[in-house]
C-alpha cells in the first residue's frame, strides 16, 4: 500500500472546533412520582421501576397463560365423534 497520498482539505483549515452541548435530561412522569414517594437517587428509582415493570409483565403472562389453558383442544375418541355427527344430523334433519 505504498504510494497512496491524501489531499488535505484546505477549506476546513480555518474552522474552529465547536464544543458539543449535551442535551438536557428530562424526568418522566413516573420517575417524578417515585421521587415524590421519597426516593431521591435516580438509579434506585430506575431499579424500582424496572422491578414494577417485571412484576406487571409476570402478571400479564400468568393471566394470558390462564386464558389459553382453558381453551386447550380436547382429543375425542371415534365414538364421541360419531355421536356428535349423529346429533348434528338429527338437529339438521338429515338422515
Residue 69, domain member (yes or no):
yes
Residue 13, domain member (yes or no):
no
User: Counting beta carbons within 10 angstroms of the beta carbon of residue 43, is it exposed (0 to 12), middle (13 to 18) or buried (19 or more)?
Assistant: exposed
What pTM does this model have?
0.44
Give how many domains the chain has, as a whole number.
Answer: 1
Task: Supply 84's cell numbers.
Answer: 356428535
Whole-angstrom Cα distance, residue 79 to residue 76? 8
Whole-angstrom Cα distance, residue 36 to residue 29? 11
Residue 1, domain member (yes or no):
no
Residue 3, domain member (yes or no):
no
Whole-angstrom Cα distance, residue 1 to residue 18? 34
Residue 18, domain member (yes or no):
no
Residue 20, domain member (yes or no):
no
- What are the pLDDT digits (tens) for 27-53? 788 878 888 888 888 888 889 889 999
pLDDT (0 to 100) of residue 92: 85
Amino acid at each position: 500500500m505504498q504510494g497512496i497520498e491524501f489531499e488535505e482539505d484546505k477549506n476546513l483549515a480555518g474552522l474552529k472546533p465547536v464544543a458539543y452541548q449535551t442535551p438536557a435530561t428530562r424526568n418522566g412522569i413516573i420517575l417524578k412520582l417515585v421521587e415524590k414517594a421519597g426516593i431521591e437517587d435516580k438509579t434506585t428509582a430506575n431499579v424500582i421501576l424496572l422491578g414494577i415493570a417485571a412484576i406487571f409483565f409476570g402478571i400479564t403472562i400468568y393471566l394470558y397463560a390462564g386464558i389459553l389453558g382453558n381453551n386447550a383442544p380436547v382429543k375425542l375418541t371415534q365414538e364421541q365423534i360419531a355421536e356428535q355427527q349423529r346429533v348434528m344430523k338429527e338437529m339438521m334433519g338429515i338422515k
